[in-house]
């Protein structure tokens, strides 16, 4: 009886401490992100970002866009990249062994001719079959690498090898990038102060499903019509507007989205580029860059974050694709956490080791386990009559209402600062989505994440899933 009581108390204390820590973390994230967003908005509201292109001393940039079977949207996407405004800019599209007509379409549309580039294999990649450049003057910035399939990281590495610029912008080719995006992303690099080197800057990714595209640019922002994309719209708002902004405030950002991030090429080269064995290459790269700065350079540095919606992407619009994507994210997270486990509560890595890394481990990786175990434990205890049902209901309502508050807070900031969704319909829809998300999207996400853990540890699955593009609603 004594042991049973002790175990019961121990489990209760564990869940209480876990829940309380998570609750306090969310409140802290809310406060920090509010401060950072307000500060960012105040200092950039009247800054003329177009003036950056007239600056005399600017870092040179290469945009690297890996592409795999993107024939439906490749022309539009490359046009979007070519419309980016920045002096001294290369656009490197890496065709990662597409089996469709992506390369053929690119060659025809942009008048590509094969060029023997002096390609240095600084980072090992799959075989490069050819490098193409446009013969048309209007597309003179465009370079296309055709290589054998090796995955997204491998394609990015090939792009890094070819680039001769100081910074590179890693993006998904299917993203629509706003014209001012590079000027906004490069600003933190220009704002380096007190020898605090900016090693990377990340930007917000927003959902382009159902948006209207004209000439490679977002002409009208529409709320998605598909329920899964709607859930993800809210999720992205929370993650980017609140989460990453707060981590950026304390220079504890661990991830820069693989779809949109600007990096110091020299540092990336020194650490050997993207890890091709990881499916969470974006998270892994930032961790390795941070580690390098702590261990080798031993200099003050920063990973910056820009809250403006600058990159628009298509997200999975059916359950099958969504489950594959989340499964991959879970496996990427586990893989990275295991690879860099030496950072866990390691004071040598400062806030990263003591706050960010443990947070990701406990509340990103472990959360689905704790949640499922907690719910199972509750059900068992209720059926055994050992827990008061009223209390369970009370806690459940609390979790639900706090989730609503958190979501509405992120929507509030979107409205207050960016206001990209301008109609009333959006508000009513997002209100409905916030309520239903907790019952539909969240449990599914938990299941997908657990499945990712199962696949990683039991099935030893390490590769990417497939994602079918629908192409944008383009005029």
List contacts with another protein (CB under 8 A): 41-48, 51-52, 54-58, 113-120, 133, 135, 164, 187, 189-194, 391, 394-395, 397-398, 401-402, 404-405, 408-409, 411-412, 415-416, 419, 422-424, 427, 431, 434
Q: Which residues pair with 312 in a beta bridge?
A: 176, 206
Which residue, 58 or 93, is less far from another protein as judged by CB?
58
Closest approach, Cβ 39 to another protein, in A, equals 8
- CA dihedral in degrees (104, 328, 277, 460; nearest 10)? -130
Closest approach, Cβ 450 to another protein, in A, equals 27
Contacts of 399 (CB under 8 A, 6+ apart): none
Phi then psi for 385, rounded to 5 degrees? 70, 25
Which residue, 124 or 408, is less far from another protein as judged by CB?
408
**Full 3-state SS string of 274-312:** CCCCCCCHHHHHHHHHHHHHHHHHCCCEEEEEEEEEEEE
Instruction: Report DSSP state, residue 126.
Output: S
User: What is the C-alpha separation between 354 and 344, in angstroms, rounded?
Assistant: 7
Are 308 and 203 within 8 A, CB to CB?
Answer: yes
Closest residue by Cα to residue 464 from 233, 202, 276: 276
User: What is the C-alpha separation between 398 and 407, in angstroms, rounded?
Assistant: 14
Closest approach, Cβ 237 to another protein, in A, equals 12
Which residue, 140 or 376, is less far from another protein as judged by CB?
140
**Full 3-state SS string of 27-95:** HHHHHHHHHHHHHHHHHHCCCCHHHHHHCCCCCCEEEEEEECCCCCCHHHHHHHHHCCCCCCEEEEEEE
Closest approach, Cβ 391 to another protein, in A, equals 7
Which residue, 296 or 394, is less far from another protein as judged by CB?
394
Closest approach, Cβ 376 to another protein, in A, equals 22
User: What is the C-alpha separation between 196 and 189, in angstroms, rounded?
Assistant: 10
Which residue, 41 or 179, is less far from another protein as judged by CB?
41
Alpha helices in 83-223 (DSSP H): 102-109, 152-162, 181-190
Which residue, 295 or 408, is less far from another protein as judged by CB?
408
- Count the neighbouring beta carbons within 10 Å of the beta carbon of residue 349: 22
Closest approach, Cβ 401 to another protein, in A, equals 4
Closest approach, Cβ 166 to another protein, in A, equals 9
Which residue, 35 or 416, is less far from another protein as judged by CB?
416
Which residue, 375 or 427, is less far from another protein as judged by CB?
427
Which residue, 41 or 473, is less far from another protein as judged by CB?
41
Closest approach, Cβ 6 to another protein, in A, equals 21
User: What is the C-alpha separation between 261 and 156, in angstroms, rounded?
Assistant: 12
Which residue, 30 or 224, is less far from another protein as judged by CB?
30
Are 310 and 204 within 8 A, CB to CB?
Answer: yes
317-to-12, 232, 389, 444 alpha-carbon distances in Å: 39, 9, 38, 14
E strands in 135-242: 142-147, 167-171, 176-177, 197-207, 212-214, 217-220
- Count the neighbouring beta carbons within 10 Å of the beta carbon of residue 453: 18
User: What is the C-alpha separation between 12 and 289, in angstroms, rounded?
Assistant: 39
Which residue, 53 or 474, is less far from another protein as judged by CB?
53
Closest approach, Cβ 412 to another protein, in A, equals 5
User: What is the C-alpha separation between 1 and 365, in angstroms, rounded?
Assistant: 34
Closest approach, Cβ 414 to another protein, in A, equals 9
Closest approach, Cβ 247 to another protein, in A, equals 21
Closest approach, Cβ 423 to another protein, in A, equals 8
Which residue, 171 or 303, is less far from another protein as judged by CB?
303
Q: Which residues pair with 206 in a beta bridge?
A: 312
């Amino acid at each position: 009886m004594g042991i049973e009581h002790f175990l019961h108390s121990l489990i209760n204390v564990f869940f209480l401490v876990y829940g309380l820590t998570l609750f306090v973390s969310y409140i802290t994230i809310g406060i920090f992100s509010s401060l950072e967003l307000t500060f960012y908005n105040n200092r950039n509201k009247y800054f003329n970002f177009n003036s950056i292109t007239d600056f005399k001393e600017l870092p040179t940039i290469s945009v690297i866009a890996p592409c795999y079977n993107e024939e439906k949207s490749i022309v539009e996407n490359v046009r979007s990249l070519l419309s980016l405004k920045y002096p001294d800019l290369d656009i490197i599209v890496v065709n990662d062994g597409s089996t469709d007509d992506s390369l053929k379409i690119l060659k025809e549309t942009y008048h590509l001719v094969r060029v023997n580039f002096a390609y240095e294999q600084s980072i090992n990649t799959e075989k490069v079959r050819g490098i193409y450049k446009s013969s048309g003057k209007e597309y003179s910035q465009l370079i296309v690498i055709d290589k054998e399939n090796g995955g997204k990281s491998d394609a990015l590495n090939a792009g890094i090898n070819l680039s001769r610029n100081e910074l590179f912008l890693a993006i998904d080719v299917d993203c629509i990038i706003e014209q001012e995006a590079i000027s906004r992303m490069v600003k933190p690099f220009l704002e380096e102060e007190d020898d605090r080197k900016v090693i990377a800057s990340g930007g917000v990714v927003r959902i382009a499903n159902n948006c209207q595209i004209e000439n490679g640019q977002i002409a009208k922002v529409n709320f998605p019509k598909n329920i899964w994309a709607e859930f993800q719209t809210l999720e992205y708002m929370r993650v980017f507007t609140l989460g990453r902004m707060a981590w950026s405030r304390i220079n504890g950002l661990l991830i820069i989205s693989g779809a949109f991030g600007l990096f110091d090429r020299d540092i990336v080269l020194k650490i050997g580029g993207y890890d091709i064995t990881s499916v969470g290459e974006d998270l892994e790269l930032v961790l390795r860059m941070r580690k390098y700065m702590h261990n080798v350079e031993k200099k003050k540095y920063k990973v910056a974050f820009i809250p403006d919606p600058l990159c628009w992407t298509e997200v999975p619009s059916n359950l099958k694709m969504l489950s594959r994507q989340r499964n991959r994210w879970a496996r990427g997270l586990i893989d990275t956490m295991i690879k860099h486990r030496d950072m866990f509560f390691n004071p040598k890595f400062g806030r990263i080791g003591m706050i960010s890394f443990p947070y990701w481990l406990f509340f990103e990786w472990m959360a689905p386990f704790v949640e499922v175990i907690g719910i199972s434990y509750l059900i068992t205890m209720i059926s055994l009559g050992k827990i008061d049902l009223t209390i369970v209901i009370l806690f459940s309502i609390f979790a639900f209402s706090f989730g609503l508050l958190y979501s509405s807070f992120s929507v509030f900031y979107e409205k207050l600062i960016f206001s990209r969704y301008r109609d009333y319909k959006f508000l009513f829809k997002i209100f409905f989505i916030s309520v239903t998300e907790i019952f539909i999207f969240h449990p599914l996400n938990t299941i997908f994440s657990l499945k990712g853990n199962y696949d990683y540890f039991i099935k030893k699955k390490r590769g990417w899933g497939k994602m079918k593009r629908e192409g944008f609603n383009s005029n």
